[in-house]
Amino acid sequence: MDEINGSDEYLDAVTIGEPDRLDGVVHLAPYDPEWPLEFARHSERIRHALADEVLLLEHVGSTSVPGLSAKPIIDMVLAVADSADESSYVPPLEAEGFVLRVREPNWFQHRLLKTPQWDGNLHVFSLECEEIDRMLAFRDWLRANQGDRRLYEETKRKLAAQTWNHIQNYADAKTEVVQDILTRAFEGAGRKGPG
């Protein structure tokens, strides 16, 4: 969750195909108890496609936090041996209908695949990437800490009401509050903070 450069030039450079434009406000839906079930369905397809290549697969993002409103898109994080080695995981996922949309070699070798229904984002990193640790720490802290969950929700609602060119611009605007919450999450776990 480091700040990603959401400029149009950067998005053009890392996006495969045309970047999706929002040109509007962000729709936040109330928490839906179906979201974990949607993750389970995606997870089954991913595990079927990759078998032992799946070293970690978790539901992350706001849809993974009970009670938190969210964009109704299931965020997932997948760890593989080497996320730069696309040939080891992209073709089997494409056979399941996933589409590679983002390649960020300079940000933890991050790859992003979308599901055919466009209701899911699969973030791919190499095992033991520090970004996975941040994603899981953020999720777990919000699940356990009502005050920070409320702070995050309020921040999201304020920002979602603004007009954004790309959804990444909205995500980047949350960076400060995310970093603050992550600092508390790592301190609460007795660990060195993010960054």
* Model confidence pLDDT, tens digit, residues 133-181: 999 999 999 999 999 999 999 999 999 999 999 888 999 999 999 999 9
> What does the block give as tokens for 66?
């009970």
Q: Where are the domains of the chain?
A: 8-188
Instruction: Please give the DSSP secondary-structure letter assigned to residue 191.
Output: S
Other beta carbons less than 10 A from residue 86's beta carbon: 16
Q: What per-residue confidence (pLDDT) applies to 21? A: 83
**CATH number of the 8-188 domain:** 3.30.460.10
> How many whole angstroms from its chain centre is CA 32?
18
| Helix or strand holding residue 120 (H, E) | strand 120-126
Per-residue pLDDT of the chain in tens (195 residues, 90 and over written 9): 334 455 778 888 998 988 788 889 999 999 999 999 999 999 999 999 999 999 999 999 999 999 999 999 999 999 999 999 999 999 999 999 999 999 999 999 999 999 877 689 999 999 999 999 999 999 999 999 999 999 999 999 999 999 999 888 999 999 999 999 999 999 987 776 665
How far is residue 68 from each of residues 10, 93, 100, 184, measured CA to CA in Å? 30, 29, 28, 19
Q: What per-residue confidence (pLDDT) applies to 194? A: 61
